[in-house]
Amino acid sequence: MGGADMKEAKMTKQVTRRRVLRTVAGGAAGGVVLVACGPTGSQAGQTPDGLKVTAPAEIKWMNRNDQILRDAAGEALEKRFRAENPNIKVVLEPVPPGQAYPAVQVAAMAAGTAWDVFETWADIVEGFAERGGVLDLERYTKVDMKPEDIKDFFAWQWNAFRLYNIRWGMPKYVNVMTTWINKDMFEKAGVKLPTKDWTHNDYADAMVRLTKTDGRDVAVWGGGIPMWSWARFWYRVDMWGGSVVDPKDNTKCLLHEKPALDALEWARNLQWDRRVLAQPLELKRMWDSDSISTNFYNQKIAMIEDGFYPYTVARNVEDKFKFMWMHVPKGPVTRKVLGTSDGFTVWKDTKYPDATWKLVKWLSGRDFQTVQTEFAGSLPVRHSILADWKKIVVKNYPRLAESNLDIGPEAMEMGYPQDRQFFKKQVEAKDIIVPALNKLYREGDTSISIMKTISEQVTASQR
């Protein structure tokens, strides 16, 4: 193991005090329970500088990250957040062991013991919002944020935090769908590495050439796309010029229209007729896992579509093979992928709404976004930090210098990631569409024509 590899292995085991202090400019460690004493008085008041919280408050934050980032967050909160808000106590907790998320927060809300801050994304926040459990943060952004501060967020992501007539959270990080490439497999098969301008025809051709068979079994799949995923199937429809939801009427489903059917058929054909796009049941039968990322790490799939997780991929690939990321190819009409709206959400019944706002605002701010980049490699939610992102990531994982990290910032600046459109009754639509996606892309032997009936059922469910 070389010097760079030894550094990377060490990073995965512990958070060093030196790295935390360098990130947040020094200070004493405070652990994950932050106790601060301050003056009593009214909970909050507005000043020319924004909202001021003066009364003591105790906030529980359920954090879904690994212990590495949780420890770093604890020290950063102690050094910076406590210095700015000395009367606020923050208790940072993981998801309780053995508990499923988000069910554990739903149950806690019903019992009146929920976490004040919890982490959601657009596809699950609907469940909390429908129960009336989400605090609308819109008024806080108007009185406690300056226009230039809001402009520092990516517009497409900032706008995605307006759903159900409320602002349901503050951005946590950016994740975008990318193509993961096993460079060694491309080289061995004599397939040219893709470029930013590649198309879906290039994509399909590469899958065919990269697929290797052993008798009737597929030994290496050319590609892997989770078309059965509720969160990820829709953007391929958009790339064909269609839409799952009518942009002019969120009670109408358009999956029966030709662009949608053609997009879904493109994937179905590669998966079941040509057998070059990975089939989940076959992955499970052959290698005991239907995860496309696991099978990419094990070199059973040559390229996949998945999120942008630099540290996670580097830790799993290690030195087994050379890899890179590339933009998902252009569609026949446009390029579109899921850009996530992962965020920090506030429980509506928190005892300390103003103090809790101060916390989530800080978590979306420059201090914590820099810490999150340092310890998790996540794309930050702000333009002002994006320029430093690659430098930080490569410093911590030198091997990533050759992995085409530039596509992350490029995607942000190109503006093609976005979150999905939502039906008026999103849960009802999901309950109808997901079983159909499973039939098409997990089970097979199903014609794409079923989507015509599915489209009618979804539209009927919105009335």
Residues 318 and 446 in one domain: yes
Question: What residues contact 142, with CB distance under 8 A and at least 6 apart?
Answer: none
Rounded to 5 degrees, what angle do the CA atoms 269, 273, 277 make? 65
pLDDT digits (tens, 9 = 90+) for 146-165: 999 999 999 999 999 998 88
Residue 65 lies in a domain: yes
**Which of these three, 401, 428, 447, is where a domain ends?**
401
Percent of the chain at pLDDT exceeding 90 = 80
pLDDT digits (tens, 9 = 90+) for 78-101: 999 999 999 999 999 999 988 899
Residues 367 and 271 in one domain: no
Residue 375 lies in a domain: yes
Confidence at residue 47, expressed as pLDDT on a 0 to 100 scale: 53
pLDDT confidence bin for 131, thresholds 50/70/90: confident
What's the rounded mean pLDDT across residues 104-130? 92
Confidence at residue 7, expressed as pLDDT on a 0 to 100 scale: 38
The range of the structural domain enclosing residue 269 comes to 178-339+413-461
* 6, 200, 225, 328 from 196: Cα distances, Å: 33, 12, 19, 8
Residues 64 and 107 in one domain: yes
109, 110, 113, 117: CA torsion to nearest 10: 0
With H, G, I as helix, E, B as strand and everything else as coil, classify residue 57. Answer: strand
Rounded to 5 degrees, what angle do the CA atoms 95, 176, 4 make? 80
**Is residue 27 over pLDDT 50?**
no
Its pTM surpasses 0.75: yes
Residues 352 and 335 in one domain: no
**Is residue 356 over pLDDT 70?**
yes
Q: What residue type is assigned to position 381 of the chain? A: V
Residue 407 lies in a domain: no
Mean pLDDT lowest among 120-129, 398-407, 437-446 = 120-129
CATH code at position 148: 3.40.190.10
pLDDT confidence bin for 66, thresholds 50/70/90: confident
What's the rounded mean pLDDT across residues 6-33? 40
Residues 224 and 373 in one domain: no
Between 3 and 272, residue with greater pLDDT: 272
Between 40 and 353, residue with greater pLDDT: 353
**Which of these three, 375, 401, 427, is where a domain ends?**
401
Mean pLDDT lowest among 125-129, 141-145, 238-242, 286-290 = 125-129
Residue 103: how many CB atoms within 10 A of its CB?
A: 10
Half-sphere exposure of 354 (CA within 13 A, CB side): 17
pLDDT confidence bin for 38, thresholds 50/70/90: very low
Structural tokens at position 126: 């609907």
What's the rounded mean pLDDT across residues 115-143? 92
**Spatial CA neighbour of 176 closest among 157, 161, 193:** 157
Average pLDDT, the chain: 89
Residue 2 lies in a domain: no
Residue 231 lies in a domain: yes
Question: Rounded distance, CA 144 to CA 344, Å?
Answer: 17
Which DSSP helix (H) or strand (E) runs through 315?
helix 310-317
**Is residue 275 over pLDDT 70?**
yes
Question: In 69-177, which ranges are E strands?
Answer: 88-94, 117-120, 162-163, 166-167, 170-173
Judge if the upstream peptide bond of residue 48 is cis by omega within 30 degrees of 0: no
pLDDT digits (tens, 9 = 90+) for 218-238: 999 999 999 999 999 999 999
Structural tokens at position 438: 């499973």
Residues 330 and 348 in one domain: no
Judge whether 289 and 295 are in contact, CB under 8 Å: yes
Judge whether 261 and 241 are in contact, CB under 8 Å: no
Residues 214 and 332 in one domain: yes
Q: 93 pairs with which residues across the strands? A: 62
DSSP string covering 446-458: --TTHHHHHHHHH
**Spatial CA neighbour of 156 closest among 327, 340, 425:** 340
Confidence at residue 163, expressed as pLDDT on a 0 to 100 scale: 87
**Is residue 16 over pLDDT 60?**
no
pLDDT confidence bin for 43, thresholds 50/70/90: low
Residue 454 lies in a domain: yes
pLDDT confidence bin for 266, thresholds 50/70/90: very high
Which DSSP helix (H) or strand (E) runs through 219?
strand 217-220
β pairing state of 342-346 and 323-326: unpaired
Residues 387 and 419 in one domain: no
Backbone φ and ψ for 306, nearest 5 degrees, come out as: -160, 180
Confidence at residue 46, expressed as pLDDT on a 0 to 100 scale: 54
Indicate the number of domains in the chain: 2
Residues 77 and 212 in one domain: no
Residue 147 lies in a domain: yes
Residues 333 and 349 in one domain: no
Residues 40 and 135 in one domain: yes
Report the residue count for the chain.
463
Residues 130 and 186 in one domain: no
Residue 25 lies in a domain: yes
**Is residue 198 over pLDDT 70?**
yes
